[in-house]
Structure 1
């Protein structure tokens, strides 16, 4: 009997421990994390090369809550601040001189928001804010140039493969454009509107070795508020591409981009147009 009682007590304790562990595990399951790291032949942002067509190493890490709230960070090397705002590009001085302290070699984006499905309609909503941060660029304001750091709020609606998104600048400066660049107007009110399609080709053709194949198509319009005063014309951009996600989380892909309205000299630096049509290939690992 004593052994039986001991056995029952031990089993009860183990069951209680298992219950507590399961409860803790269930509580922790409200949060999920995801991320990626990838090598790209270049970094394209809204149709414009950010690395002068040189390779870019990019990565992100996201924390998601079951309520729909999320927070994340993304980063990449860049060169556009040096390419555009070097004293050579401005027409004087030495090539290594720049109006920004570090030359702007890094971009770090921090974002957060809420996304969910609207009832049982299948319509998804995503609302949030995004801070583009370029470490070491504070010197630009000291020298009379607008800050590269930019703050946007955004909203998106999605249904199936389709998404419509609107991003609105709420900071006075936008990527170095603004009142401090010798202009009378700031960049607040600048916006970007886009339409995106993500087509699961692999699923549509019945899976198999290409079950992770996805097609993408994109159209965007970048509208700079007071663009005439800022000296940088608004433009449109286009993107089409293919990617394949393998079972181990590796993604291999390629896409083509082009712009309309960037052939103006305002988008040409050191004889190179940053919005010309171009192709990009990438290798990425998700986790």
Structure 2
């Protein structure tokens, strides 16, 4: 069992307070900007990595320098809810605009699970921001596979107020998995999300699928909730 960092322990205490009072903390500390909140602060990382909240208590701490360098931690789950384990995602990177319409971001994230015997993993990511839309790529080494991801968030152009984001990932398994009818050594999956706010509710329509089907789906361990084609309607209301 690994010992959580001091930062993660501080984060846990502050987020427990946030869950009750619904507050987001932000303060300037000299040349640094400090943020503590219940949603990811890094826009590029938010699309490319693992931003989803998987527990009742979640949030992150982000420290950004005026030069563009930043460090932080994001916890999708504090491990407080039954059946949920503590996850700590530590990251560092650099973000800078070329001008008013074009910018870039590069960074690295380390995923750790202090309460379980799961190997840590790392991910590097980078991308461009153009007229408010984001295009990026990421490479990661999970314990059982290598992943390559392409990502696009077209929020800079939203016809009828509808946001569009897409993700395509290739997974290369370290050890081929035996399935009924053969072996699976690699597979791909993808998703398309349409988003629109409506009367204070965030509505998401998500279509996801993968290159596996039938008995081969027993080897699926990708980014989607299931191997086969799935259409999901999600409605979320934020109270703070």
TM-score (norm. length: structure 2) = 0.62
The aligned counterpart of 2:115 is 136
The aligned counterpart of 1:277 is 231
Looking at CA atoms only, which structure, 1 or 2, has the larger radius of gyration? 1
Distance 1:47 1:30, change over 3 A: closer
What is the total number of aligned residue pairs between the two structures? 188
Q: Is 1:151 paired with 2:122?
A: yes
Question: Which has a greater percent of helix?
Answer: 1
Instruction: Indicate which of 204, 209, 218 corresponds to 1:255.
Output: 204
Question: Which has a greater percent of strand?
Answer: 2
Query: Partners of 1:164 and 1:234 in 2: how far apart?
Result: 19
The aligned counterpart of 2:92 is 112
Distance 1:109 1:285, change over 3 A: farther
Distance 1:37 1:284, change over 3 A: farther
Gaps of 5+ in 2: 1-27, 40-46, 178-183
The aligned counterpart of 2:69 is 69
What CA RMSD, in Å, does the superposition of the two structures yield over aligned residues? 3.9
Deviates more, 1:233-242 or 1:222-231: 222-231
Between 1 and 2, higher relative CO (CA 8 Å, sep ≥ 6) is seen in 1
Q: 1:126 deviation in Å? A: 0.2
- Alignment check: 8 A CA contact 1:218 1:239 kept: yes
1:221-240 correspondence to structure 2 within 5 Å:
221-226=168-173, 229=176, 231=184, 233-240=187-194
Q: 1:57 deviation in Å? A: 4.4
1:203-242 correspondence to structure 2 within 5 Å:
215-226=162-173, 229=176, 231=184, 233-242=187-196
- Alignment check: 8 A CA contact 1:104 1:137 kept: no
- Alignment check: 8 A CA contact 1:156 1:166 kept: yes
> What are the Cα deviations for residues 43-95 of structure 1, in whole angstroms up to 9, with x where unaligned?
xx9899x89xx87543222111110011122122399xxxxxxxxxxxxxxxx
- Alignment check: 8 A CA contact 2:55 2:84 kept: no
SS of residue in 1 equivalent to 2:172: coil
SS of residue in 2 equivalent to 1:198: coil
- Alignment check: 8 A CA contact 2:138 2:150 kept: yes
